[in-house]
């Protein structure tokens, strides 16, 4: 049976591999604790669940979604209110916002709507594993831009070779960053807009962790002057409202790109279940306090992990965003070896940095999206089992 050649390029999806490993160990009776996947275990806000239930009872909402590929105007208006309130960014809901089935869908449809076969597209290394397959599906080639600790995990735009920058048609970035937790600064965003303008590059600023920052400014790409001239920001209700399974997000910014994404959607899917969009309006309009509460929870978990790591020899002050801790591996291990070691010794699963790109080697990623008791159990196993580690070359 023939399958498409384009699939041959796609490596196994990291989390499918991890999930298989976890399931296999569980089948063998091992009490595995996964700190690998960024999928909140805490529930969505009650009022959002109630809004979904109420909307689901109305048969009018059982039909194809309103304004299919764009998302219902009431949802897009709620997105505009949220951006205004949380980021001081003004959006025209009729031309500058399109609803998405999560930002992952946006990453994919951005490529189909913006990139031509044969193009090159810049992606950060390390970076979210979803970008490369989307670029390949569009017939283009990803080009890695290093994102290193010595520059706070921000790419050095002035070190991208001029011919590479001129040739590229688009650039995927994401801050607060998965996997490193790095956050952008206003100066960086301004520099990014200038870089995009100078090189005629369209920016896909993937920002689902925009709300998840610890003691630093919340930033949207659209805060930068001229951002709407060069790109879009993808965002999502997955992370701020614990709604990963609900599949709802948005692309905002350049009307041309928003329209291109909507055109791809019009020919691909039929939009988001109306009841989920009504629930999304509730989340965006009324759940700021919920997001703040979750930040307090993540902050406490973060401190607990860091305290255990410090007791085991780590001396590391991580970046201030996303619900991940991007942690150097001890001397003598690759990231995959250290993950295996942690799994074998403690039945704790974390994500190997190398899975996020060559520059991810030397790091592992802890996710803070487990319950307190499971996190404490994982940390207790680490404290009780592991030796003091050494770091450096």
Ligand X SMILES: Cc1ncc(COP(=O)(O)O)c(C=O)c1O
Give the binding site for ligand X (CB under 6 A).
38, 102-104, 128, 174, 178, 206, 208, 236, 238, 244, 249
> By C-beta, is 40 or 93 nearer to ligand X?
40
- Least separation in angstroms between residue 390's CB and ligand X is 31
Q: Which two tokens stand for residue 87?
A: 């980021």
> By C-beta, is 195 or 241 nearer to ligand X?
241
- Least separation in angstroms between residue 276's CB and ligand X is 13
> By C-beta, is 102 or 155 nearer to ligand X?
102
- Least separation in angstroms between residue 128's CB and ligand X is 4
- Least separation in angstroms between residue 236's CB and ligand X is 3
* Torsion angle, alpha carbons of 315, 320, 322, 323, to 10: 50
> By C-beta, is 38 or 357 nearer to ligand X?
38
> By C-beta, is 123 or 342 nearer to ligand X?
123
Name every residue whose Cβ is closer than 8 Å to that of residue 340 and which is 6 or more positions away in sequence.
none
> By C-beta, is 248 or 309 nearer to ligand X?
248
For β-strands 231-236 and 33-34, DSSP reports them as unpaired
- Least separation in angstroms between residue 100's CB and ligand X is 7
> By C-beta, is 199 or 236 nearer to ligand X?
236
For β-strands 324-328 and 249-253, DSSP reports them as unpaired
> By C-beta, is 115 or 182 nearer to ligand X?
182
- Least separation in angstroms between residue 298's CB and ligand X is 14
10 Å Cβ neighbour count for 202?
21
- Least separation in angstroms between residue 130's CB and ligand X is 6
> By C-beta, is 96 or 105 nearer to ligand X?
105
Cβ-closest residue to ligand X? 102
Q: Which two tokens stand for residue 370?
A: 């487990």
- Least separation in angstroms between residue 80's CB and ligand X is 19
- Least separation in angstroms between residue 131's CB and ligand X is 8
> By C-beta, is 15 or 389 nearer to ligand X?
15
Residues 262-281: b if buried by 16+ CB within 10 A, e if exposed = bebbeeeeebbbbbbbbbbb
- Least separation in angstroms between residue 127's CB and ligand X is 8
Q: Which two tokens stand for residue 276?
A: 């989920």
């Amino acid at each position: 049976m023939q399958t498409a050649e384009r699939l041959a390029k796609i490596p196994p999806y990291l989390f499918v591999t991890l999930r298989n490993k976890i399931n296999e160990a569980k089948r063998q009776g091992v009490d595995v604790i996964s700190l690998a996947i960024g999928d909140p275990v805490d529930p969505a806000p009650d009022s959002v669940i109630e809004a979904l239930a109420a909307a689901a009872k109305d048969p009018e909402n059982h039909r194809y979604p309103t304004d299919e590929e764009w998302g219902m105007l009431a949802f897009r208006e709620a997105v505009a209110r949220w951006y205004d309130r949380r980021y001081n960014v003004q959006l025209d809901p009729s031309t500058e916002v399109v609803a998405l089935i999560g930002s992952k869908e946006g990453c994919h449809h951005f490529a189909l709507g913006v990139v031509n076969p044969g193009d090159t597209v810049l992606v950060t290394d390390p970076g979210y594993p979803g970008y490369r397959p989307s670029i390949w599906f569009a017939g283009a080639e990803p080009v890695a831009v290093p994102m290193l600790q010595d520059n706070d995990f921000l790419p050095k735009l002035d070190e991208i070779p001029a011919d590479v920058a001129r040739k590229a048609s688009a650039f995927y970035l994401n801050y607060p960053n998965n996997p490193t937790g790095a956050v952008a600064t206003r100066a960086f965003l301004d520099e990014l807009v200038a870089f995009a303008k100078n090189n005629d590059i369209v920016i896909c600023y993937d920002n689902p962790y925009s709300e998840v920052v610890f003691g630093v400014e919340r930033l949207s790409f659209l805060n930068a002057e001229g951002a709407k001239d060069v790109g879009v920001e993808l965002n999502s209700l997955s992370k701020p409202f614990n709604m990963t399974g609900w599949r709802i997000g948005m692309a905002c910014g350049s009307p041309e790109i928003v329209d291109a994404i909507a055109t791809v959607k019009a020919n691909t899917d039929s939009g988001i279940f109306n009841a989920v969009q009504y629930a999304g309006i509730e989340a965006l309009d009324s759940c700021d306090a919920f997001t703040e509460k979750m930040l307090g929870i993540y902050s406490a978990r973060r401190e607990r992990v860091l305290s255990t790591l410090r007791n085991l020899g780590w001396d590391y002050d991580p970046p201030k965003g996303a619900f991940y801790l991007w942690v150097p591996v001890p001397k003598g291990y690759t990231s995959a070896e250290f993950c295996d070691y942690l799994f074998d010794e403690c039945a704790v699963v974390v994500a190997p940095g190398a899975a996020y790109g060559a520059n991810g080697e030397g790091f592992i990623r802890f996710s803070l999206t487990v319950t307190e008791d499971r996190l404490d159990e994982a940390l207790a196993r680490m404290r009780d089992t592991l030796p003091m580690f050494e770091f450096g070359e």
